[in-house]
Amino acid sequence: MSTAHQLRITHIGGPTTLIEIGGWRLLTDPTFDPPGRRYTFGWGTSSRKVTGPAIPAADLGPIHAVLLSHDHHGDNLDDTGRALLSLAGTVLTTVPAARRLGPETRGLRAGQSTRLTHPGRPTIEVTATPCRHGPPLSGPIVGAVIGFALRWAGQQHGALWILGDTVLTRRVRQVATRIRVGTVLLHLGGVRFPITGPLRYSMTARRAAQLCAALRPHTAIPVHYEGWQHFQEPREVIERAFTAAPSPARDSIRWLPPGEPTTIDA
């Protein structure tokens, strides 16, 4: 018989969350720099950080693994977050990021899986999921990005899916047909930059509602929609999109108070 393990998620800010499962403490996309600095993202794009983390890096406690969707944008891995990587037992990320970050990092391509194991803790299967961090054919410019689907014994509703920075594509939609998802962390914000006009570099609220209508998760948690100047869709836009969505999506949305550990029905 499977043993249930409590899932607890703390939204620290931007894409950064602390995920606690049966003794595991996992950190997503570490961003802990103070606000005020402008970061360049390449090809003439940049943004200023306007909100600091809800929990300072020094107060985190032990981190057993980092799930890093990509390493080359400061709103997903900043200087303080980068310093934390050496303190984590494991770092899972893209193959190009693993080459840049060193031999202690595991690189995954979309569809590949690995396991987090430790005596006295549940084994967590981590599967990399596809992302496209921009419009069609933008991959060579925006670089490799992945999401993560986490599965462990005792899940009642399905996997925990960390979407990663992506627009809605056919491959992202297909995840809903391949993995039963109970909880999804939605990287939103509908990012645009003046230099590239209407092109989007992360998922809009409307597209996220469409995805959740197909996915039918028990819980959908918005992250990575605030704290930086380049985000175009704040909370009220996300709320309107989900209010207008069919009931499976509309009823799934849940907002996490920054810095407060929240128990999720997994």
Give Cβ neighbours of residue 97 (< 8 Å, ≥ 6 apart): 68, 70, 71, 72, 105, 107, 144
Structural domain includes residue 80:
yes
Q: To which residue do tokens 């207008």 refer?
A: 244
Tens-binned pLDDT, residue by residue, of the chain (266 aa): 345 678 999 999 999 999 999 999 999 999 999 999 999 988 788 899 999 999 999 999 999 999 999 999 999 999 999 999 999 989 999 999 999 998 889 999 999 999 999 999 999 999 999 999 999 988 888 899 999 999 999 999 999 999 999 999 999 999 989 999 999 999 999 999 988 889 999 999 999 999 999 999 999 999 999 999 999 999 999 999 999 999 889 999 999 999 999 999 99
> Which residues share a beta bridge with 264?
7
The CATH number linked to 61 is: 3.60.15.10
Q: What is the pLDDT of residue 195?
A: 84
Measure the CA–CA gap between 231 and 122, rounded to whole angstroms.
36
Structural domain includes residue 265:
no
With contact defined as beta carbons under 8 Å apart, do 155 and 163 qualify? no
Structural domain includes residue 2:
no
Structural domain includes residue 78:
yes
Structural domain includes residue 45:
yes
Minimal CA–CA distance to 75: which of 176, 165, 4?
Answer: 165
Question: Considering the entire predicted model, what is its pTM?
Answer: 0.96
Structural domain includes residue 90:
yes
Q: What is the pLDDT of residue 3?
A: 55
Measure the CA–CA gap between 72 and 9, rounded to whole angstroms.
25
Three-state SS string over the chain comes to CCCCCCEEEEEEECCEEEEEECCEEEEECCCCCCCCCEEEEECCEEEEECCCCCCCHHHCCCCCEEECCCCCCCCCCCHHHHHHHCCCCEEEEEHHHHHHHCCCEEEECCCCEEEECCCCCCCEEEEEEECCCCCCCCHHHHCCCEEEEEECCCCCCCEEEECCCCCCCHHHHHHHHHCCEEEEEEECCCCCCHHHCCCCCCCCHHHHHHHHHHHCCCEEEEECCCCECCCCCCHHHHHHHHHCCCHHHHCCECCCCCCCCEEECC
**What range does the domain containing 31 cover?**
7-260
Q: What is the pLDDT of residue 196?
A: 86
Token pair, residue 187, equals: 């990287």
Structural domain includes residue 242:
yes
Structural domain includes residue 66:
yes
Please name the amino acid found at residue 249.
A
> Which residues share a beta bridge with 150?
126, 160
With contact defined as beta carbons under 8 Å apart, do 166 and 147 qualify? yes
Q: What is the pLDDT of residue 1?
A: 33
How many domains are contained in the chain? Answer: 1
